[in-house]
Chains A and B, each alone.
Chain A
Amino acid sequence: MKIVLPGDKISDTPVRMENAIVENGKTYATVIGMMDESRGAFIPLESVWYPREGDFIVGIIENSKNNVYTVSMDSPFRGLILPPPRPRFGGRGGRDERFGRHEERREIMHMGDIVSAFVKEVKREADQIILILDRPRRLTGGKLIEVRPSKVPRIIGKESTMLRQLETGTKCTILVGLNGIVWLNGEDVPLAQKAIAKIQEEAHVGGLTERISELLENKGR
């Protein structure tokens, strides 16, 4: 694996991909990353988050106005949780047999509340990109930490193996937002924090899984 820097050529042909640009028919990296020449894959070592439909995020309720919640996600994108659609039948807060009473379908949230959600739509508004969020869930207690969005795949691991290992080893619930905010709650939060810091520092060094299980077994000592 070769380290690639912004401006380095990664292909002699035009390849449309994230973290790269095409110029004069050739493809150049725009962030620092690793080139896996055998697979022709470019893996960013650092990157910012580009939201996509279906992305899981963790954020903080920043504002609530006219039944719309604004969610801050430590990114240039602003998240919105819109009021649930009015039921077609049953009007006036009545009961819709299929959906239940619509007022009940959304938790009341306050400024500063921690929330997880999914990106339903990436919308380009007049002055910035807005993310319409879906399936919000208020998270109580716990702790938020910031991680580098490019390290999120390593924190989760292949088929969530790393994440499960972290959760078991620290007896914590860990929600990893693709926006780079992670919510930790449970028994040994400081240990979980330490392990995640280690994953971030050493994400590019082989044998990470073993070192993390060692750290967890020794309770960080």
Chain B
Amino acid sequence: MIMGGSGEKPQLIINGKRTDGRVPDELRPIKLEVGTLKNAEGSAYLEWGNNKVLAAVYGPKEAQPKHIADPNRAIIKCRYQMAPFSSLEEHSRSGPNRRAIEISKVTKEVFENVILLDNFPGSEIDIFIEVLQSDGGTRAAGITAAAAAVASSGIPMKDIPYAVSAGKAGDLILLDLNKIEDNYSDADMPVAIAPRNNEVLLLQMDGSMSKEQFDSALQMIKKAGETITKIQRDALEARYR
């Protein structure tokens, strides 16, 4: 997983700037379009830096197979997958690996929180996230895109979540890690938040962080959330202008 095949750790910060020229609390450019796929109930295409992600939602429909149905609420099936050609590195095998299965699970849990599942007992809602090009932070991009897809579908939800990661290079907190930063950073922490009440719906972390660093990472994420939420809002409203 190392760029150019060399094992040496690159310098992540030079003169206060990151490898792609950003300052520490700067998001990559984000472009979001809603309604890209015609067959889905709701869909979204998101470009986030060099990440390119498609999300689509189908349902609610009768849960299949029958025995997985929950008599009291809808169930969500979620699949996150990376295209075999998505990375700048070598071709990857298609099909779910352990990483994709875990991301699918935690993504599903984000949407179990915000979608009003009680309205549809015995049914299922399917969320599909396909990463067409990857450059670090694809789970956050996937959740942000899927949230817009669900919001465009008419499936009731109590809020539109967003996701973004923060990490650490040395003692410096960085927002929205790209692939190189992700590979060499000292910590990575993807977070999803329902902005209305600032509820944290996804939180993962690996590396090392002090309590203070965690606090400032979360503050950075919340501030970035305002920008991401605005992008989601603009994309959804654009369909009806």
Binding site for B on A (CB under 8 A): 3, 5-7, 19, 21, 23, 28, 30-32, 34, 44-48, 50, 74-76, 78, 124, 126-129, 148-150, 204
Contact = CB atoms under 8 A, between A and B. Distances in A.
A127 B122 contact: yes
Given A48-B154, A128-B123, 13 more contacts: A3-B237, A5-B160, A6-B151, A30-B157, A45-B240, A46-B42, A48-B155, A75-B61, A76-B60, A124-B121, A127-B69, A129-B120, A129-B121
B158 interface: yes
Contact of B154 (A46, A78, A127): A46
B11 to A, nearest CB: 41
Contacts of A30: 116, 156-158
Contacts of B61: 74-76
Nearest to B154: A46
Interface of B: 42, 59-63, 66, 69, 71, 74, 116, 119-124, 151-160, 194-196, 233, 236-237, 240
Contacts of B71: 126-128
Contacts of A23: 158
Interface of A is mostly: loop
Contacts, number: 94
A19 B153 CA distance: 13
Contacts of A129: 120-122
B159 A7 contact: yes
Nearest to A205: B240
B156 A48 contact: yes
Contacts of B159: 6-7
A56 B35 CA distance: 28
Contacts of A50: 119
27 contacts: A3-B237, A5-B233, A6-B157, A7-B158, A7-B159, A7-B195, A7-B196, A21-B116, A21-B156, A23-B158, A30-B156, A32-B154, A32-B236, A32-B240, A46-B42, A46-B153, A47-B154, A48-B119, A48-B154, A76-B59, A76-B60, A76-B63, A127-B66, A128-B63, A128-B69, A128-B121, A204-B240
A30 B152 CA distance: 11
A128 B122 contact: yes
A153 to B, nearest CB: 14
A141 B159 CA distance: 43
Nearest to A78: B62
A127 to B, nearest CB: 5
B89 to A, nearest CB: 38
B238 to A, nearest CB: 10
B67 to A, nearest CB: 10
A21 B69 contact: no
B156 A3 contact: no
Contacts of B196: 7, 28
A205 B92 CA distance: 46
A50 to B, nearest CB: 7
A45 B34 CA distance: 14
A34 to B, nearest CB: 8
B156 A19 contact: yes
A7 B148 CA distance: 12
Name which of B61, B122, B160, B233 has the most chain A CB atoms within 10 A of its CB.
Answer: B122
Contacts of B160: 5-7
A23 B159 CA distance: 12
A126 to B, nearest CB: 6
A75 B120 CA distance: 10
Contact of B60 (A7, A32, A48, A150): A48
A46 B153 CA distance: 6
Contacts of A19: 156
B110 to A, nearest CB: 14
A204 B119 CA distance: 26
Contacts of A149: 154
A148 B154 contact: yes
A127 B65 CA distance: 13
A189 to B, nearest CB: 20
B70 to A, nearest CB: 9
A32 B123 contact: no
